[in-house]
């Protein structure tokens, strides 16, 4: 799987939007961009995924650059419950089953 690069940590104020960046300059045409998060002392949780077009769901939005070499996870109005480690993961549409995890971005929400 291609590699992703994320900042180690980010801080944001409660009730403000948060933009979490991910660089994946070696992404291939068949790689999907997946985001998961892990709240403290919990199992990972699926957030969103996309291929080329921007995606929205009830949890977040995913903005994908036109060249697909980067993407941004957008939390429109962060709450204290969104404090977690956020992982950007590339998954080949043809390949394997496993998720390969990096270190992610630790999101700190300030009240």
Partner 1 sequence: EPEVTQTPSHQVTQMGQEVILRCVPISNHLYFYWYRQILGQKVEFLVSFYNNEISEKSEIFDDQFSVERPDGSNFTLKIRSTKLEDSAMYFCASSAGAPRGEQYFGPGTRLTVT
Tell whether residue 51 is a contact of partner 1 (CB under 8 A). no
Tell which one of 17, 19, 76, 103 touches partner 1 (CB under 8 A).
103
Looking at the Cβ atoms of 67 and 97, the one nearer to partner 1 is: 97
Helix-strand-coil percent breakdown of the chain, rounded to 5? 5, 50, 50
Least Å distance, CB 96 to partner 1, is: 5
Nearer to partner 1, 94 or 111 (CB): 94
Please, are residues 24 and 31 in contact by the beta-carbon 8 Å criterion?
yes
Instruction: Candidates 28, 80, 95, 108: give the one binding partner 1 (CB under 8 A).
Output: 95
Q: Which residues contact 17 (CB under 8 A, 6 or more apart)?
A: 74, 75, 76, 77, 78
């Amino acid at each position: 799987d291609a590699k992703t690069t994320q900042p180690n940590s980010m801080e944001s104020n409660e009730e403000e939007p948060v933009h979490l960046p991910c660089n994946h300059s070696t992404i291939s045409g068949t790689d999907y961009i997946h985001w998961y998060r892990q709240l403290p002392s919990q199992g990972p949780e699926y957030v969103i995924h996309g291929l080329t077009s921007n995606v929205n769901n009830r949890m977040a939005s995913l903005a994908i650059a036109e060249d697909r070499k980067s993407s941004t996870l957008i939390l429109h109005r962060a709450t204290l419950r969104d404090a977690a480690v956020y992982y950007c993961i590339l998954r080949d549409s043809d390949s394997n089953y496993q998720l390969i995890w990096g270190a992610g971005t630790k999101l700190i929400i300030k009240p």
